[in-house]
Amino acid sequence: MEERVLHFKRRVLANLTGYGLEGESRLAKHIEKLQAGSYPVQGGKKLYTADDSRQIRAVDAPWPLPRFDRPEVLAFFYSKGGVGKTTICANIGVTLAAAGNRVLLIDTDPQASLSLLFDVDVDQEIYTLGDAVEAVIHDKPADFRKGLIRPIKDLQLDLLPADNRLVWTDMLMVQAQYREKLVEQVFICNQALLEEYDFVLIDTPPSVNSLSFSAVAASNRIISVVQLSKMAIKASGNLFKLARELKKGTGRVVPITFIPNMLHGGKPHTRSTLDIIRASIDSESSSKVGITATVIPEYVGLARPKGHEDGQKTLLEAEPLSLTTQKFIELSREIETLAMLDRGDENHG
Ligand SMILES: Nc1ncnc2c1ncn2[C@@H]1O[C@H](COP(=O)(O)OP(=O)(O)OP(=O)(O)O)[C@@H](O)[C@H]1O
Ligand SMILES: [Mg+2]
């Protein structure tokens, strides 16, 4: 299998660090001060890595690198299938990491779409979140390091993959006491490891089961991908219900952020969809709910043909300068800002 690497041109580095097109000459000056690495070259020009993004954003860049003492845990959850949760989770994960963040992806879907996207051989023996949960239920140590995979070279992006045994984990959890706390307990067991990350992104299946409920309960924020369809928007009712259950069970209000997917900015139907989503939000006063300013369009580069789920590259790998890639960079920047807000909320009780 071809090894996945992520090296990019200076233009992409400028986009990831906030310098943009007009700031490229200022970026060039900044680059001169970087620690000289052994850069790969393409067409006589240097290529850069996530490490360069991190170094540049650490000192005086238009987009400074956020730093947290604990990771921001985001659950990609929506009770409707096929809306793009996995696609958006993978692309945001890679973009956040390329911009200099340390990212852990956790696949909790027995279909393992996220794992397949990162070339995991799901026929091999795999250590999943399910194994960690079972260990905690049986008072045994739960160690994520047994399962971690680093799918793209030069990127601080790790993946805890999934396989279809997760279906059984869910059945086991149904009988467990305090099941909404189980993933939180697994996180406590792995605290030292988790402190090595800035973001933990959890991809969940389209159903509310014990495992996805517990994963959402252990998160700082729910990220809900939503599309223009009556069914997709109607499913937000289930999401708000889950948020209410969480509040009852844990006393915590988990904020929700909608990411509109497969829409086209500026088109009339996009505006009306956004209005419908906003209207459903306004009636939901018990939760902190918002919607990203960035909208992900329907784009052929994001479409995975059915049955060919494995090995699909993320946009930053496949077409780093496309407009939709730029959307993911903007979205990642919004996610960083929300993470800083979450930290502020926690510090103020
Ligand atoms: N913006 C987009 N443009 C084009 N195709 C997209 C876009 N977003 C997602 N897709 C395609 O839609 C299909 C469903 O996406 P994805 O698997 O990410 O959804 P999901 O919500 O994770 O599904 P599930 O509920 O089954 O886990 C995939 O074939 C994917 O390639
Ligand atoms: Mg999915």
The three-state DSSP-derived secondary structure of 18-68 is CCCCCCHHHHHHHHHCCCCCCCCEECCEECECHHHHHHHHHCCCCCCCCCC
Q: CB-based burial of residue 175 (10 Å sphere; 0-12 exposed, 13-18 middle, 19+ buried)?
A: exposed
Tell me which residue has its CA closest to atom 29 in ligand 1: 304
Residue 116 Cα, ligand 1 centroid: separation in angstroms? 13
Residue type, 156: Q
Q: Where are the domains of the chain?
A: 10-58, 72-347
Judged by DSSP in three states, 253 sits in: coil
Q: Say how far apart CA 155 and CA 97 lie, in whole Å.
A: 6
Residue 167 Cα, ligand 2 centroid: separation in angstroms? 15
Q: Say how far apart CA 247 and CA 261 lie, in whole Å.
A: 27
Judged by DSSP in three states, 166 sits in: helix
Q: Which atom of ligand 1 lies at the shortest distance from residue 312's CA?
A: 31
Which tokens is 238 given?
């289930």
CA distance from start to end of the chain: 49
Please give the model's pTM, rounded to 2 decimal places: 0.94
Q: Is 141 in the pocket of ligand 1 (CB under 6 A)?
A: no
User: How confident is the prediction along the chain (349 residues), in pLDDT tens digits per residue?
Assistant: 678 999 999 999 999 999 998 998 899 988 887 766 667 777 778 899 999 999 999 988 999 999 888 999 999 998 888 899 999 999 999 999 999 999 999 999 999 999 999 999 988 999 999 999 999 999 999 999 999 999 999 899 999 999 999 999 988 998 888 888 999 999 999 999 999 999 999 999 998 889 999 999 999 999 999 887 666 677 788 888 888 888 888 888 899 999 989 876 666 666 677 777 777 776 665 568 888 999 999 999 999 877 666 778 999 999 999 999 999 999 999 999 999 998 887 766 4
Residue type, 51: D
Q: Is 117 in the pocket of ligand 1 (CB under 6 A)?
A: no
Residue 44 Cα, ligand 2 centroid: separation in angstroms? 40
CATH 3.40.50.300 applies to domain 72-347? yes
- Would you say 297 and 327 are in contact if contact means Cβ atoms under 8 Å apart? yes
Q: Is 113 in the pocket of ligand 1 (CB under 6 A)?
A: yes
